[in-house]
Structure 1
Amino acid sequence: MNKHFLTLVIVVLLLGASSALAQDMATGIVFHDENQNGQVDSSEQRLAEVPVSNGQEVVLTDKQGRYELPADDDTIIFVIQPDGYKLPVDDKHRPQFYYIHKPEGTPDLDYSGVSPTGPLPDSVNFGLIKGEQTDNFEMLVFGDPQPYNMQEVNYFNRDIVDELVGGDGYEFGITLGDIVGNNLDLFEPYSKSVARIGLPWFNVYGNHDMNFDVESDSLADETFEATFGPPTYAFNKGNVHFIILDDVIYPRKDGEAGYIGGLTDKQLIFIENDLKHVSSDHLIVLAFHIPLSVPRWRGLEEYFRVEDRQKLFNLLSDYSHTLSLSAHTHVQQLHFLDEKQGWRGKKPHLHYNVGTTGGDWWSGEPGEDGIPPTIMRDGTPNGYASIQFEGNDFTLNYKVAGADKEKKMNIWGPDVVPKREWFNADLYVNYFLGSDSTIVEYRVQGKNKWRQMKKVELGDPYITSLRDKWDKSEDLINGKRPNNAVASSHLWKTRIPKNLPEGEHTITIRVTDMFGRQFFDEFSYRVEDR
């Protein structure tokens, strides 16, 4: 080969490689969109020191509200909402705080993704709306709606959304992934349903929200991005800094099939850069789908990559106030993570694995309203959580769908017991938001002394009884058979008192939770002499 020609080939190849690696620079302005027209008007204030990110780097706007960030051909630029401002929303109340830059769009997949965006605009601007500045507010949290068809979207719409229409008292909501059940065409009807609540609604990416027909993790969220925006981002409200994370790794790189919980290097760099602009006395709330810790009944199965969890904990080591949220398991559990799991804080890190709106995958025999009871395997009825924030402190709540807001527990025991005979029946209390720090006591009516119940990790017998109905029936039962009971992390029991006079007796249950709140309920049964 001619030497001059070879040199020319090498130069062309190097230029091509350089071009492939080259990045554009995204520039723009963050401003107070006073008239909410989405345009930077000359009279509108440019906002300084507002964080903007490309999913890895985080920069602050200058005095003119301007920022500059590198952007390759698969980048989402987004503003990190500062306290005192709100984000604009679309017609389905999905926050609009990002710009997707994919010049060629999404590759051909079973579910459509992002259309080609073409070259970067000269200016990628973000308009913010002035909002109330308050340290006290409440948010809604949904775990796994996970409808597999329109009938289950209808269940979700009627069982969960109907009672929340208007969003009174809440600032915004978050769904913690598994928005749908593999059918990504249901993103839109789900969004239409949630929009009825009337709140800004953030969404987390889950393992049933993926594009499965991909060869790299970076492409698995294409339809999610086209619908909801970046799967990793952050925002502020009061003294709380929220970090939303895609923690689903698919396909895995360790030779195993399927997915696993974890974080990418890019995400960890983003968290590190993001936290540089967050005061150490703020509460950090992380929201993702797959929990950091394995549910106790799952044994030693690897759920979340331990090395990634440790890197995340290291980044949070300067923060005394933290909380993380997940869903995925279709049970409800409070995990207190300490040095055994690599947490370095003075007090354990609370990880709240939230019960799901879809419960036990919309299973059970439908009631008169046509909706299945869908009670979860640990005895938690389907419903939703809310979190009340006061400064950098918080209180957790769980609301059972379709029930009075005072319903906090289920009680299970016999209807009748023999007086003084050998009869080892137990009374069980399932306090849905319980943990090792919860105290459950009982008192027989007419007695003064409260007696403490014993915390156990067993299957809730009420759940077992519901499942037995399906197995012992001689006829097919309408609806899907529920899953078997698993060991509940919020179950207490005691021997039911039987050395009492004949007749009806009432036992009062008193629950004192980790926040010092007390809740009461009652159980009645009958004592008979043979």
Structure 2
Amino acid sequence: MKRRNFLKSFGVFSAAAALPAVEVLGREKSQVKKVQGKVTAAGKGIAHVVISDGYNVVKTGSDGSFGFEPHVNAEFVFLSVPSGYAIPHKKGVADFYVKIDRNAPQQNIRFPLDVIKGGDDKHAFIVWGDTQILTKEDAELLKTISAPDTKALVASLGQIPVHGIGAGDLVFDKFELYADYKEAVGTTGAPFFQVIGNHDIDYAARTDDRSQATYKENFGPTYYSFNRGKVHYVILDNVFFIGTGHRYIGYLTENQLSWLEKDLQHVPAGSTVVVSLHIPSDNGAKRRSGAKEEELGGVTSNRAALYAMLKPYNVHIMSGHTHFNENWEKDNIMEHNHGTVCGAWWTGPICSDGTPSGYGVYEVDGNDIKWYYKSVGFDKTHQISIHKKGRMAEHADAVVANVWNWDPKWKVEWLEDGVAKGDMEQIIGYDPEAVELYKGPAMPVKHTWVEPSLTEHLFTAKPSANAKVLTVKATDRFGNVYTKEVTLG
């Protein structure tokens, strides 16, 4: 810029600087000077409960009261539900927030809670990855098959508290189907918290911030926390809409990271922290495919900042998005990237990697978490699929097993006619059934763009010519043993 033009521009700015900031910057002005309120149970205040507007983080006093001036951009005041109290909900949808009335100079808020008899040190939670309903037909499948399966699972867990987490892509761009999603979770018997996914945002919006409006109308804030027993739960929004087409990246905004820093100040080092987000923080897709760069919309680009913040804790990350199942572990973090409730977008019974449509089940005792993958329509022992020789072209002389919830602490062995033969060979490849169902430009008919995906939870064994039965034996990290056999010949 030439000096004369710069000085001219500077003069305009200097003159404007004397005016009120709202006139210079066009800042949206809220009338709210203070929000105040109380967290109670049975009419008595609850001390030390964390309250936030997504920017400020405060704690209730000894009488359960709180008060602060909300940030000008804040939309909600929400509480981090404390341990020992039931999750408030409306017909299964977690109800932990109040929308800020921007036209009121002061707002009084009450958060009434109920004590859980017997406490919640022992509890469980369920993770639904990608329900992703596009049509009323999809919604009916969710409501009549997946939700009843979940309801039965919740009932089987007994008297312990159970909650659910919908890990994003609750619908497939069809916001009118949020009502069906809510109806489904309302029948499960567990209150559900939600995560925003890339198919839960408005792509007609001009910015990422504005793309979340419909989701917020239905489910409230897109990042928040809550507690159960000794575990601190965090929900984050890592879908960043870049303002054109249906394009987004996996990215955590500074607002969220700044809020999380404040939120974690109230969590003792060494605690177990469960973080849920839609797009995986990381996965092995780049390594499996041999790609030179990772897909910006497939993982979280600034995950290092998140990991640094979580370093003092024992961390489990819950994600969806990929429509395959993968578990990885490094240092203090384990990520569970879930297979989906919708399978391969409601086109067949399995995900793109051969994982059956289903959801994650996590049983918590203090700081200890154990888990398994629950396939819809099967009991918890269903953990292996077997494919006979010839079904996988690259390994035509081998039996192929898919152990979809595998992680490096599993042991996968095989027996031939009852005789132990040792470990199966792990490979990277495509699940044979997924190839038959989804590979090719004309398949599947419902969504021809669906394709099988590479996975590393495949295992092979080459039986001898006269063998009659091959048995796969998989032992998970908790010592649970699962077996499946196939008749040869």
- What TM-score, normalized by structure 1, do the two folds share? 0.81
Task: Write the mapping of 1:119-518 to structure 2, written as runs, cut at 5 A.
Answer: 119=104, 121-132=106-117, 133-165=119-151, 167-168=154-155, 169=157, 171-251=162-242, 258-296=247-285, 297=288, 299=291, 300-303=293-296, 308-319=302-313, 321-337=314-330, 347-363=331-347, 373-414=348-389, 425-447=397-419, 449-467=420-438, 479-480=446-447, 483-500=450-467, 505-518=468-481
Distance 1:469 1:497, change over 3 A: farther
Partner of 1:99: 98
Task: Write the mapping of 1:43-82 to structure 2, written as runs, cut at 5 A.
Answer: 44-71=43-70, 72-82=72-82
Contact 2:87 2:94 (C-alpha < 8 Å) held by counterparts: yes
Counterpart-to-counterpart distance in 2, 1:415 and 1:311: 46
Give 1 or 2 for the bigger CA radius of gyration. Answer: 1
Counterpart-to-counterpart distance in 1, 2:82 and 2:207: 33
Counterpart-to-counterpart distance in 1, 2:203 and 2:176: 14
Contact 2:203 2:246 (C-alpha < 8 Å) held by counterparts: no
Contact 1:234 1:241 (C-alpha < 8 Å) held by counterparts: yes
Counterpart-to-counterpart distance in 1, 2:406 and 2:323: 16
Contact 1:54 1:69 (C-alpha < 8 Å) held by counterparts: no
What secondary structure sits across from 1:399 in the alignment? strand
What secondary structure sits across from 2:340 in the alignment? coil
What secondary structure sits across from 1:85 in the alignment? coil
Cα-to-partner distance string for 1:335-372 (whole Å, 9 max, x where unaligned): 224xxxxxxxxx35211100000010111xxxxxxxxx
Cα-to-partner distance string for 1:23-47 (whole Å, 9 max, x where unaligned): 634332333242xxxxxxxxx1111
What secondary structure sits across from 1:398 in the alignment? strand
Task: Write the mapping of 1:5-20 to structure 2, written as runs, cut at 5 A.
Answer: 12-14=19-21, 16=23, 20=27
Q: What amino acid maps onto 1:84 in structure 2?
A: G
Cα-to-partner distance string for 1:510-529 (whole Å, 9 max, x where unaligned): 10123332211111123xxx
Q: Deviation of residue 22 (structure 1)?
A: 6.3
Counterpart-to-counterpart distance in 2, 1:155 and 1:224: 22
Counterpart-to-counterpart distance in 2, 1:379 and 1:336: 22
Q: Deviation of residue 494 (structure 1)?
A: 1.4
Counterpart-to-counterpart distance in 1, 2:436 and 2:168: 30
Counterpart-to-counterpart distance in 1, 2:143 and 2:449: 21
Distance 1:438 1:135, change over 3 A: same
Q: Deviation of residue 140 (structure 1)?
A: 1.0
Distance 1:450 1:25, change over 3 A: farther
Contact 2:185 2:191 (C-alpha < 8 Å) held by counterparts: no
Q: Deviation of residue 415 (structure 1)?
A: 8.9
- The range that moved more, 22-31 or 268-277, is 22-31
Count matched residues: 461
- The range that moved more, 53-62 or 70-79, is 70-79
Q: Deviation of residue 56 (structure 1)?
A: 1.9
What secondary structure sits across from 1:226 in the alignment? helix
Partner of 2:87: 87
What secondary structure sits across from 1:243 in the alignment? strand
Counterpart-to-counterpart distance in 2, 1:100 and 1:125: 12
What secondary structure sits across from 2:141 in the alignment? helix
Partner of 2:7: none
Counterpart-to-counterpart distance in 1, 2:440 and 2:21: 71
Counterpart-to-counterpart distance in 1, 2:173 and 2:464: 49
Q: Deviation of residue 100 (structure 1)?
A: 1.4
Q: Percent identity?
A: 26
Contact 2:399 2:460 (C-alpha < 8 Å) held by counterparts: yes
Counterpart-to-counterpart distance in 1, 2:238 and 2:444: 38
Q: What amino acid maps onto 1:460 in structure 2?
A: D
Cα-to-partner distance string for 1:411-431 (whole Å, 9 max, x where unaligned): 011399xxxxxx961111101
Q: What amino acid maps onto 1:78 in structure 2?
A: F
What secondary structure sits across from 1:375 in the alignment? coil
Q: Deviation of residue 9 (structure 1)?
A: 8.1
Distance 1:9 1:357, change over 3 A: closer
Contact 1:57 1:269 (C-alpha < 8 Å) held by counterparts: no
Counterpart-to-counterpart distance in 1, 2:300 and 2:163: 32
Counterpart-to-counterpart distance in 2, 1:351 and 1:58: 27
- Listed as ranges, the gaps of 5+ residues in structure 1 are 1-6, 35-43, 104-117, 338-346, 364-372, 417-422
Q: What amino acid maps onto 1:213 in structure 2?
A: A
Counterpart-to-counterpart distance in 1, 2:425 and 2:332: 23
Q: Deviation of residue 94 (structure 1)?
A: 1.4
What secondary structure sits across from 2:456 in the alignment? coil
- The range that moved more, 195-204 or 228-237, is 195-204
Contact 1:291 1:303 (C-alpha < 8 Å) held by counterparts: no
Distance 1:402 1:230, change over 3 A: same
- Listed as ranges, the gaps of 5+ residues in structure 2 are 1-13
Cα-to-partner distance string for 1:83-109 (whole Å, 9 max, x where unaligned): 01123221x221221111263xxxxxx
Partner of 1:28: 36
